[in-house]
Structure 1
Amino acid sequence: MKLVKAVIYGFGKWVDHPLDFTAASPLVIYGENESGKSTIQQFLLFMLFGLPPKQRAFYRPKNSGRMGGRLTIDIPGTGVVTIERLDEARNGKAVCHGPEGEEYPEEWLEDRLHGMTLKTYQSIYSFSALDLNGLSGMKENDFGEVLFGIGLTGSQNLYTVEKRLEQQMAALFKPYGKKPSINEQLNTLDGITGDLRRFKEREGSYLAKKEEKHQEEEKISRLKSEIEQLKEQLSNTALQQQALPMVKKYRTYTEQLKGFPSLDIFPEKGRERLEKLKEKLLPLQSEQALLEDNMRKYRVRMEELKGKLKEESVYERADQVLRHKEGYLNALREQERISAAVEKKKTQLDAEVQRLHVGLSVEELSSLEFPFHLEKTWSQTKMDAEQLRLEEERIKQEYQELKQQRNYLLNQAWEAEEGTLSESEYQELTEKLSGYKEKEMLLRLQSGAEYLSENWRQQKAKQEQRSNLLLTVSFTIAALLAVIGALFGQSALFWMIPILLLAGIGQKMYSKSHIASMDHFFTEEAEQSATLDLSEEERREAEQAVTLHEQRSSELTAVKEQLKTVDIQFIKLDEKRRGIEEKRRRVDALISEQHESYPFLEQVEIAYWPEFYHYIKKLLDIHSDYRLLQQEKGRLDQSLDENGRPAMAFCEDQNLGPSSLDPLQAFRLVEELMEHRQQIIREINQYEKLAEDNRRGVEETRRKAGVYQEEIEELLNAAEVGSEEAYYRKARQVEEKRKLEEEAKRLKDQLHTTFPDEMWKRMLTDMPEEQALENTARKGKETLRDLEEELNRSRQHLADMKAAISAVESSEGYSNTLHRLGMEKEKLDGLAHQWSVLKTAKEMLEKTKKTYRDKYLHQVMETASHYFSIITGKHYVYVYPPMGDTPFQAEARDGVRYKAEELSQGTINQLYISLRLAIGDIMSDKHSLPFIIDDAFVHFDTIRTKRILDILGQQNQQVILFTCREEVRDHASFTIRIHG
């Protein structure tokens, strides 16, 4: 199971906060102290397992009325499921929404979690730095408890039962106690026995009856033994009756599975992949149809608009008519009455135009047109330009940060290279150390020639066997690479073949040469003394140099990997930059368009365009007043007749108005005609542009839809079917087979857990009849009833015998004491029986715990040793579990073992984390839940921090790491940064 995303409606300090967990594992969530990391961790646990009302009240947000959230998870075999929990709804219980939108209750989620509880999850998959303490002093029994408590779901109930058994046993009996019931009863019997000895007569008049009483007691004991054996047989029969339906169902499932054909060729998650492709294809097809319909509408509209235009000669004549308008207006002016007003307006216009300083003249104002949408266009252009500027600055800043990071990594790489040896120096030192070890071994072997020769023959055989095995493995791998490369067209694999062959042959030749030299040593120079060519100081210096070289080489590799990540970020940044450049081109085109329409805007900053619009609008109003004054001033009769007649004649010819039009109305109608023409032309141009954009959109949607269609065809071909119907039919068969396999495995696990393996496996091969089991049980019960009746008769006879013996007792005190002794003995027998039952139950529980520990101990320690070896750079090669009072031990590569308390705190923590990861791996067969780790690397150095992050990145399960350490954040492949 993997977490996909989450939305926190309200939880602690977080309100309406989204989270994305889709990044590669480990996902690091970084934040300073008190930034809310622990609250997010508690929120995830709340969404999966819920919280009691008191704890929910603790996390209720201060500034929101809702407490809860939504968590999306991907469950294998089920799909993507969304969990929603609200404190005020359903008493905090979850409601789940399936892949198809179906709704399920919380019990459905618990079933998908396989009974996992919050406490069990925290003991296996969640730990922090506080959980790392206490490992050094852990003993064998303590570790057994850890394995049993962590690994077995529901172990808390078993632990409670064990403690209750111990308390009940202690209440019944203690070896040196006085208050427990059995101890008190024994003291009472001792007192009664003392009284009885005083009353007992020496004469044996009732010895015969006592002998008969003894025989009856033996008979009762025999009957009890037979009854116990019969009860055990009836219990076994009852177990078989209980297991019979499950065994039958398991055999039915296995037989049904045999009837299914081989379905291995069906793609992984084939149904989901096909449905996702179809979901992506459907919007593209709808979009394509919409674009094509829009193109048809645009063409129809353009034809309608073209039909509204008159002939071009009419517009040319109208243009000629409008040229007379200014003369007509000049003729309307009355020079004497309004000359002062005209001069005043002229002065005001000149002053306002001069104040602008944009190269705009008063004459140009007459031809200036401000449509109604121009103000919105200029304001939008300003906002687009400002936003683009901010994005460019942000990209520039990110580029500088990446550049600094890359320079830092290059310096790190240079420093790492400075600390490394050349290949020849490294080879020389390793050969010297190897020769030193060989000669050191020879010096040790010279003390006993016979033992040395025998030991060399054994080593020689092993070395030859190992050399031959390595040669065979290298040739086998080379052949497999050649076959894989040829089948899948992976030409990159072929260059590895000669390397493998040369490596295998080279080690073979080296081994042969080494064996020959050693044989020569034993045959011809057995009596010569070997001398070390390196001093102890030189050997240590060489080992330190080799270790430093290997460490620097590892650091250099890590830095190169980080450089690759930075280069990828550079590529992504370039893509963002190209997108911004495209936006810049669009904004520049819009600005250029406005500059062409209004050249004076080139002198005005874009940031002032909205204010400039209002200023020009005001100036145009003043200019309009000025023109009206000029028209009134030039109102002359002759000019009226000369300039007004063409407009009126044009309107009469074109039927633009009534015959009673005055010249001003005629000019206005002619202007409206020309403006109407310009508006139609602009609309036609807009529709042509929209049609072209739609055409490109159709081509793009066709291309995208083709890609998804090809992927669908690939899925059909991979499944070897010819249609989607056959594909879905085959998917259903795969799901049915998987469900049968899961049911069969569930029944097998249930049988394995509930019944002895020998019993139900024998029943599987030799299935008993249900009627036969019932007959056996019925006969056993009848026999048991007969035995119990006989036992009751014997007990009654024994009681009669005791009464007869009591009658012949000479003393009434003796009789009372003897009767009291019998009652107290029966009471003691009852208490002893209770204690033996409790003792048997505790021993069975101890045996169960030991069996479970022995079953998983080896697997856990092998996996933990592997992780611990990787984290410590193979400085420690194996981890030994606690034995008796001896705690954990770690074996170094030189063979020396160290107790846990002898290790550093960081190494102890690394050992504990290795154990937790190992236990998680073992439990992943049943539970595949994400790891949640909270700052567990406090005592790790840089190298071991990177190693543990590499291990976490290779886990099959999702890993979410909360940390406040910048070092962990820098080494992580993906980090979510949160702020408090």
Structure 2
Amino acid sequence: MKISEIHIYGYGKLENLIIKNLSQFQVFYGKNEAGKSTIMSFIHSVLFGFPTKQQSELRYEPKIHAKYGGKLIVQHPIEGQVVIERVKGKAIGDVMVNLEDGTSGGEELLAKIVKNIDKSMYQSIYSFNLNGLQNIQQVKSEDLGKFLFSTGAVGTDKLLKVENELKKELESRFKPGGKKPIINEKLKELQELEWKVKDAQKNNNDYTNLIQKRMNLEESIKKIQLEIKQLQTNVNRLKEMNIHFPSAKELLMVYQELEQSGTFHFPVDGMKRFEALEQLIKPLESQLVGLQTKQGKLTEQLALIKINPQLIEQEVEVEAAISKLQLDGRLATEKAEMKVQINAIQLQINQLKEKLHYSIDEQQLLNVDTSIFMKEKVGQIQSMAFRLSDQKQMLDNRYQEEKTTLEQIESEITYLEEQQLSEQARESIVRQWKQATELEQVKLDLKEVQSKIDYHKISKKTEKSRNDNSKGQTIILSLILLFLALWSGINQNWMIVVISTVSFLYLSIVFIKKTLFTVQVRTDDLLADLIEKEKQLLAQISLAKDQDSKLLLAELQKDDNLREKVQSAKLRCSQQQVRYDQVVRAYEEWERETKSNEESLKEVYQQLNLSSQIPWKRIADAFEMISDIKEMNAEHKRLDSRIKQVVEKRREIDTSISLLAERFLFEKKTSLTEMVIGLKEALKEARQNALESDGIRVKVVEVETDLFTIRKELGYLKGEFQQLLQEAECNNEEEFRSKANKAIEIEALLFRKRTIENQLKSSGYSLKEFQEFEQGSQINDQITEWNLQMNTLEELIIKQQSEWADIKHQISLIEEGGTYTELLHRYKHLKYELEEQARSWGAYAVAKHLMTKTIEKYKNEKLPTLLKKAEAYLSYLTNDTYIRIHTKEKDESGFLIERKDHTFFEANELSQATMEQVYVSIRLALATTLFEKHRFPIIIDDSFVNFDHIRIERVLKLLSNIKDHQVLFFTCHSHLLNYFSENQLIELGENEELISK
């Protein structure tokens, strides 16, 4: 997968930044604060999500604008071009992925594109920086090999950290012979508590009897308290009934009075309805008399008005004829204006024809094509002519420039070839430089071998005594553990038996491995090899000639620079020749287009009937003039037709007005205006008479409507009055009023009945409960009886509480030394805690065992392929000084580095720069070999600042030769820019500008 474009909408201080055409090996250069770290974080964020606020990573949210996010355009080996866009949204942002075939999706599709790799794994494998190299300096010397092994397995030192944490957790829980670990403390505490449990078991019987008595007393006291509570509830209920007793007696009396009244029927609100009907009937009778008088007067007025019904019927026709007088005036004005327009149009047509020297007749003019398609064709031909003219001038200038540049480059190549060394001279200098370099390396190797000889002679003396002491200590500790296991087995403490046996086996294995290792690695053999190697190196020095390798190397580098310049110049010459040929081909293409455009121009002249004397630059103007002539000719015809229509319309208006005047006017009028004025006055008089007549008719209808309504309402009210008397079973008004007074008295009793029933209902007592007591004194007697029962029960509670307190005191005396149950509970709880700790220790032990097995499997299956690639990288980086990377023995993590003289070095024995080369080799091998199916971009941030110029040159060449992975290299060191070509370099400015080299 290759990143081809980076689009940043807003990320940190970067805004609206677009980086296109990223190469396979792309270098980003910029000073501090230029945005390198921001771009690296942006790539990680788009691929795997923005850092959340709970994470320690910087979120790079913009401070001065709201845009947050951007997109990457990547080339995928299967999906083709993929656009990955992530913007502000949920915690990690909202992502949209668009594939080349039109498929789109979100996080699920993105996970498929990146093969379900997360940010942590990507940063561990494909992204590393100076921090990874600085970690090498911070790791202890004895752990350096393990650090490199962890880096080769997962890309970071996590494996080393996990191993140290597991070891720490195991030792914090159990250590043979220890006192502070948790399991050791629990074993001691459990043994002490076991003796206490046995002593407390003897006092357990008395204690159990007292506990039973206390429980019986507590149960009895609770039962009595419930009885007292129930009695108190009953007393409170009777006291409340006594309060409502008078109301209940009153309700019984109301029931008796209603029963005595018997059955009585009277309409609801009968008296109110009677009085309301009486008040409504009297006003209506007065209104009826007044309306009948008004109806007679309106009928007399209507008979005195006279109307012209024929004029009213044809009112619309008369109004239309009157309005035509104004239309006649407008038509006369329009006719005069159109005659003026016709004269002006004819004058313009003559002028345009004179400009174009146009002499065709009207029929030929109509046949000329002035459509929008023809207009577009004329415009395209004229634009093409202008473009070809400008193109000719541009091609002339460009031809001269490209020719001059080509000649200059050819001169430069000739000069540089004369300055460089011949092949024979160069081969001689190379041969001399290799001899001098090999002599210097032999001298360094001799010093190192002599130093090791001295070291091994001293260490040989102390090795034997140290091994003897270690063996003795291991044997003594193993015997102690074996004795502890036997003693615990006799006492049936199986947990201690298991722990002691595991520890004994562990020490036995360690002892055997140390013994075997001591046997295998013999100092005498190693020392003899070193002495033999010293003799060989001295012999090489005596045979070699001493020459200055730096001067020879400088001369070779100078020649290399000249050769590179020659190659670069030849490449530029080849590119310039291509540009020159492009200009020549452009001339040929211009000539073809010019000939084609001239033929099209001739065809247009013929179609428009134009004279060839009109230049092509004015062809569009001529087309517009012809279009204007056709339009003005059409407008001339339209105006002539409109004048004829106006004359006919005026004749129709004069005829219609004259006919109406003869019919409705008594005096004859001569002019059209006089006839219209007479018709207006006659129509106005007819309208006024009709309006006055209509007003009176409306009033008559209103009076008739009111009379009908009042008669109907009056009849309805009188019927309601008779219905009310029938409902009350009365024959006249006096009988009705007497019956109404009796209904009021019964209503008062019913109201009192409802009031008392509501009071008793809210109290929660029914009338039946009150009827059980004839007098209130019976309630008081029952309350007194229940109070006596409560006093007796309270005295019994006091007696039992005193007995309960004595028993509690006896129990507390026994519990001061701890009860058997409590001690037994503590013993079981402590035993459970010990088992839990043992399980926890076992879990960590299993985890450590599984991690060891996993490492072993990794060593056997994955690591050989990775080491083979890492060895090739390391050999190249160190110029074949170090050739092999070996894993350590089966139970150890780490590497041994083999030099070309077959000397093995621990990781901590190498120089800092060499150690960093080993680290870089392993990291690159991990990315290119272990995950070879995931060819993601490798991101490197200034990881080689400690390298000299030779190491820098080699590592950069190595990165540029990685073909299957895109490499994005970020740096702030300007001296590294000489190693890159212009198309590989992108410069980041301090003000967020992008400078592409």
TM bin (shorter chain)? 0.3 to 0.5
Provide the TM-score with structure 2 as the length reference.
0.41
Q: Which has the larger radius of gyration?
A: 2
